[in-house]
Structure 1
Amino acid sequence: MSTSNLDLFDTPLQHTNLLPYDGEVYYYGVVMDAARAQAYYQTLLDTLEWKQDEALIMGETVFTKRKVAWYADHPFQYTYSKKTKTALPWLPVLEELKALVETQSGERYNACLANLYHSGEEGMAWHSDAERDLKKNGAIASLSLGAQRKFSFKHKVTGQTQSIVLEHGSLLIMTGTTQTHWLHRLPPTRTVHQPRVNLTFRTIEAASQPR
């Protein structure tokens, strides 16, 4: 369902679950007009503290072409791929976008992992966002800006897949038991030559943080 005519603080709408079972994924479509989406996209490219992502593989640190940035209410630590990041304070542009996705989804978030894919050749392998730092079965709001990309899900047991194309300025919500039962990925493609910025707003459990 397209929601391109929504204002920044319109009330949430009802959406259809994209998954057939064992989880909940809702695609809200485009949630801002094209001019606003382009302005946010450029601001994020210019102002976020982008760094190459790191993963520890067989004892060696590997750097990805994809870049990331991690922001939150507090200097939360977030560990994935055996590497730990410490969150930076919110920037005004991220606070605005957090307010937008909170209004649309009816959820609250305290952190954001941003990803920058320079072209379609950069993607993300199958994985689930089920790290111990994250609220179990909590909502994850994925806001896409820039190049349009395919996004896929695969059930961990049955292998059933489901895919959707994420548009510029669109919002996707993953919640419930999605991370327990489903993997997701951003498949690489040679047909996309423009960058894409993806903001994933999520909730860090304070109890999981170092004391």
Structure 2
Amino acid sequence: MKIGILQTGHAPDALIETTGDYDRMFARLLDGHGFTFETYPVVDGVFPDGADVADGWLITGSRHGAYDNLPWIAPLEDLIRQIKAEGRPLIGVCFGHQIIAQALGGKVEKFDGGWSIGRTEYDLDGQPVTLNAWHQDQVVALPDGATVLAGNGFCRYAVVAYGDRIWTIQPHPEYDTDFIAGLIRTRGRGVVPDAQLDAASAGLDGPVDNAVIAERMAGFFKKARA
């Protein structure tokens, strides 16, 4: 099964040599499930010819906002709607989660409650899962037809499904401890309050459920659909 990765941002230059870019992180996360991957760096204006060039699609995270006036945002929203219309499975993570909601009629904004950084617990289908978060933007209004699968007191719409063909998640199952620590060093200081970064750093040694979400993502892509 070929997964097209719509890359909407790049890892920090200081980290990319050791971690790889965002597309490589997802390839590692989903390794062992028989997928092949092709990356389309839409953030750099590189788009696929259409929704039919891949069997499924994944939209990555980004430092940009879904509401930013950037030349690639509207074409990406058009592609999301095309993927939906053709019924191909689509997963969005962080920015991907947000831009899908926006493209389908929801609303994204810079959350006035601040940031979520580091290990964070969510209630997913009645079970606790812990994942690394890195966001201030949030989906604050859902499109019609959306179903909330996970959330917490800070982020109400943390995992959302649209029927059985679109599944989106706000935190980052592709981020490991070292990468979050690197983000704190390279992108956090001067942007996120120091006390919050210090607290996130102190909690990084705990476990995260990346493998649990990877299995869900792989199962979602492979699911038999009418």
TM-score relative to the length of structure 2 = 0.25
Q: Using CA pairs below 8 Å that are at least 6 residues apart, which structure has the higher relative contact order?
A: 1
Higher helix content, 1 or 2? 2
